[in-house]
């Protein structure tokens, strides 16, 4: 198995690192070699965050080469657009449509684009894109803080991951505080169910 590359983007406070840890931990449970890297554009709440999760029989480098992502999990639209250099036309892009203005935009250091602008760019250049309102499903689960678990559930539903869904659930239970486990699991399950409508991406 060649390295399977997942790039997770978002802003501080969205649970990017926790999502990466769950994926990495799950891959280890299933016997894969794993490398997880985290880069903060601005290491604070609201700052840009990108994580790489690389899975395979043997993985040496921690970061994904440009154009080599198998999946991009974008928790925020502008941050998804910012890191599209890691994607190719064949990359599965799963993007949350709810915007959280990154600090770089609020400070005027980056351009603010509308969701329509971002969606047009993604649909023009990328063949496999799932755009989903994770906030709506997170609120259905009980809190806006679990949008990342909704997105993880959508990813798991596509069957693009070389990881069993039950293993992901085990890792969620292991890594999430018991106080918030049921909330996170509900969000994950809602994401799984929502992702079933994107059966054209399954293989």
Residues of the domain holding 154: 4-195
Query: pLDDT (tens digit, 9 = 90+) per residue, 26-36?
Result: 999 999 999 99
Residue 24 pLDDT exceeds 50 = yes
Q: Across the chain, what does the average pLDDT equal?
A: 89
Specify the pLDDT at position 38: 78
Q: List residues bridging with 203 in a β-sheet.
A: none
Specify the pLDDT at position 196: 84
The DSSP-derived string for 13-33 is: TS-HHHHHHHHHHHHHHTT-E
Label residue 202 exposed, middle or buried (CB < 10 Å: 0-12, 13-18, 19+): exposed
Specify the pLDDT at position 201: 42
In-domain check, residue 200? no
Helix ranges, 6-101 (H):
16-29, 77-82
Cα 145 from chain centre: 14
User: How many domains would you assign to the chain?
Assistant: 1
Query: pLDDT (tens digit, 9 = 90+) per residue, 97-154?
Result: 998 766 656 566 566 678 899 999 998 888 899 999 999 999 999 999 999 999 999 9
In-domain check, residue 38? yes
Query: pLDDT (tens digit, 9 = 90+) per residue, 7-18?
Result: 999 988 899 999
In-domain check, residue 201? no
Distance set, CA 118 to CA 17, 79, 99, 126, 198 (Å) = 24, 10, 11, 12, 20
Specify the pLDDT at position 40: 61
CATH code for the domain of 48: 3.40.920.10
Query: pLDDT (tens digit, 9 = 90+) per residue, 49-66?
Result: 999 999 999 898 889 999
pTM attached to this predicted model = 0.90
More confident residue, 161 or 75: 75
Hunting for tokens 């329509």 — which residue is that? 116
In-domain check, residue 203? no
In-domain check, residue 142? yes
CA–CA separation, 173 vs 167, rounded Å? Answer: 10
């Amino acid at each position: 198995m060649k390295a399977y590359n997942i790039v997770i983007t978002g802003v501080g406070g969205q649970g990017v690192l926790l999502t990466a840890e769950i994926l990495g931990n799950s891959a280890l449970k299933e016997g894969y070699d794993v490398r997880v890297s985290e880069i903060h554009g601005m290491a604070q709440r609201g700052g840009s965050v990108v994580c790489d999760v690389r899975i395979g029989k043997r993985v040496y480098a921690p970061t994904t080469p440009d154009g080599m992502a198998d999946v991009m999990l974008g928790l925020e639209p502008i941050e998804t657009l910012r890191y599209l250099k890691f994607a190719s036309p064949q990359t599965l892009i799963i993007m949350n449509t709810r915007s959280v203005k990154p600090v770089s935009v609020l400070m005027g250091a980056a351009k603010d684009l509308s969701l329509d602008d971002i969606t047009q760019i993604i649909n023009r250049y990328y063949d496999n894109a799932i755009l989903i309102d994770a906030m709506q499903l997170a609120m259905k689960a009980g809190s806006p803080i679990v949008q990342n678990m909704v997105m993880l559930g959508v990813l798991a539903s596509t069957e693009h991951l070389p990881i069993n869904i039950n293993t992901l659930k085990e890792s969620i239970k292991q890594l999430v505080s018991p106080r918030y486990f049921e909330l996170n699991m509900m969000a994950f399950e809602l994401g799984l169910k929502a992702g079933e409508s994107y059966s054209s991406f399954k293989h």
